Amino acid sequence: MGGTGMELLPQSREALDEYLTPSGDDLEDQLSEIESWAVRTVPECVAMSVTLLEEDLTFTFVRQPPDVGEAADPAGPAPPAGGGWHALDEEGWAALARQQAAAGIASTVSLPVVHRDRVVLGIDLYACTPHAFDDRLEDLASSLGAWRDGAVTNADLAFDTRRLAEEAPQRLKERRTVEVAVGLLAARQGLDIESARSVLHSCARQAGIEDVQAALVLLALPDL
């Protein structure tokens, strides 16, 4: 996917394959279109993440070389010579953020996509130059169908969405485990799905564990 040099992270490919349904979900095509629009509008793009807000899933593309996303300075930023920054010194905070940035990323923009008065997608773009998004936000918002006034720049120079994308396959597997346990509980106890889900959640909360842990316990039982 994507002849621009930006490719899905292996974890994003795994999550996408898990998420897509045989009925022909067009999410993969939508992601590819977003990637193409983004790099056409901002050729300096080196990475892109798309988050499905309702599903809490993030899919990330990166452009080679693959070291994009690794910390530029593991020791952390050094204070500027001659003293610290004033709390309201925007240039100082920007410099601090750049020192904490992921390698190869010099600017970012986050764009929300709104449908029927509800944010449904979050699009995060990452560029290798500090001013890649200057004077391009209108074109980006228009081409991506995003809300221009909701754009936020340089909020994720550390490329945190990559970590979220890497966690997506495990999150999907945990959800599948919970769904199987809910279905089994419903069948054995004569409950509807929502009631069974509530029972599972209540048991997990009382035990002080996550729903997926309760699901694993239920699935390990010989009978309910």
pLDDT (tens digit, 0 to 9) for every residue of the chain, 224 residues total? 444 468 889 999 998 888 876 544 688 888 989 999 998 999 999 999 999 998 889 999 998 654 454 444 434 444 444 444 344 454 554 454 444 456 789 999 999 999 888 999 999 999 999 999 999 999 899 888 899 999 999 999 889 999 999 999 999 999 999 999 999 999 988 999 999 999 999 999 999 999 999 999 988 887 65
- The span from the CA of 163 to the CA of 173, in Å, is 17
Contact call for residues 33 and 113 (beta carbons, < 8 A): no
Structure confidence at residue 96 (pLDDT): 45
Residue 221: predicted pLDDT: 84
State how beta strands 57-63 and 45-52 pair.
Answer: antiparallel
The Cα 150–Cα 81 span in angstroms is 35
* The pLDDT value given to residue 224: 54
Query: How far is Cα 119 from Cα 126, in angstroms, rounded to an integer?
Result: 20
